């Protein structure tokens, strides 16, 4: 399963929306994820992948789901490189 697929599943579960509604260009705000829920989404993603996302990679208002997936991929690559 791809990183994107896994991130989309976590978001759709947390936002209680269909996975088909999650698009790379969507922001969490667009998907109806409130700020507190967005923090929970990030926590779930970090826990799922066993990574820590830097704060600059978690912009809830303007950051897209696609950017979030890229941030996860970057952290996974760093983890693998260590």
User: What is the CATH classification number for the domain harbouring 22?
Assistant: 1.10.1200.10
pLDDT tens by residue, 10-41: 999 998 999 999 999 999 989 999 888 888 99
CA–CA separation, 32 vs 34, rounded Å? 6
CB of 64 within 8 A of CB of 25? yes
The parent domain of residue 66 ranges over 3-81
Q: Which contiguous run of DSSP H or E holds residue 27?
A: none
Structurally, how many domains does the chain consist of?
A: 1
- Global confidence as pTM: 0.89
Banded model confidence at residue 63, pLDDT cuts 50, 70, 90: confident
């Amino acid at each position: 399963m791809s990183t994107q697929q896994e991130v989309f599943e976590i978001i759709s579960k947390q936002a209680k929306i269909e996975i088909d509604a999650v698009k790379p260009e969507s922001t969490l705000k667009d998907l109806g994820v409130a700020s507190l829920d967005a923090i929970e989404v990030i926590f779930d993603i970090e826990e799922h992948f066993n990574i820590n996302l830097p704060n600059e990679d978690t912009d809830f208002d303007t950051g897209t789901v696609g950017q979030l997936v890229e941030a996860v991929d970057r952290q996974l690559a760093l983890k693998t490189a260590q």
